[in-house]
Structure 1
Amino acid sequence: MDTETTGLYGGYGDELLELALVDDAGNILLDTLVKPARHTEWPDAQAKHGITPADVVSAPSLDSLLPRLLAAIEDAEAVVFYNADFDLAFLPAPVQLQASGKALCAMHAFSLHAGDWDSRRQSYRWHTLLVAAHAAGHQWDDKAHRARADALATRTVWRWLRDKVQYSKMASLPHA
């Protein structure tokens, strides 16, 4: 799952502009622009993702999308985000509640895999989705920093990491 937003502060006034959810097979379950309730412009965010106020003027509201979003999450075994804390902060409380027990963070998993220790933060260094997607061999069909493209890239990173973990578990087994 991925979102695009009016800014960086979910829960503190910024809003969703775009939302995409893909399944493990890469099928698009939800891919939609979202009309913000309060914001009429977002120049800093627009420079990053390219979503303009005109793009969302006739988009559905987040409230109208809730039944589809909740149903998709209900049916999912897990919901993988690249920076789960960020994306979850922009989702309304019912979605946060339903997704919280299923939320997995590909960014944290990739950081562990990359193993670059940041002594200042006392944790592994976070890498951008572009870096992780490149490492995983992802082929971009669309522009990065759009929800569908980023959700598909996150899927690639997650599957790549999952396959690497399975391989490393098998490789550590004694050989006959």
Structure 2
Amino acid sequence: LKFDLKVSTIMSGSTSTLRYPGYMNNDLISLISSLIPTPRLHFLISAYTPLTSDNTESEVRKTTVLDVMRRLLQPKNVMVTTAARDRNVTHCYVSILNIIQGDVDPSEVHKSLMRIRERKLADFIPWGPASIQVALSKKSPYVTTQHRVSGLMLANHTGISSVG
């Protein structure tokens, strides 16, 4: 996909809770404050799935909340290459916020979080909360897609220290 499409998709996803406000995460401060525990840990990474263009839209299979949340944790969907992909170096998440867009049942989110925790798909720092925060958002009424659910992950990860 083209770089501009990736950037615009990430920006659209990250501001979706501002454009379609819910009861939580409806301003930038509430989005960012939970991701940055101290001022020195302020570098965030993002991941998005499914990342499609008009040409590949038909190839994307139906998505479930669990599929989306699991794919967001896969390094191939992260928009920056870090040492987190190096198996010899141990890095972990400081915090994660998943913004799930689409037709989503909150009980599906809870089940997905439980399954991710059971499978230990995300390693967290030992000195902080080890949980994935989730914000639900509507999809834009102006964009039609074949997938019912998409997801954006904004994460604070120790692997970002290798980028420089």
Give TM-score scaled by structure 2 length: 0.25
Give TM-score scaled by structure 1 length: 0.24
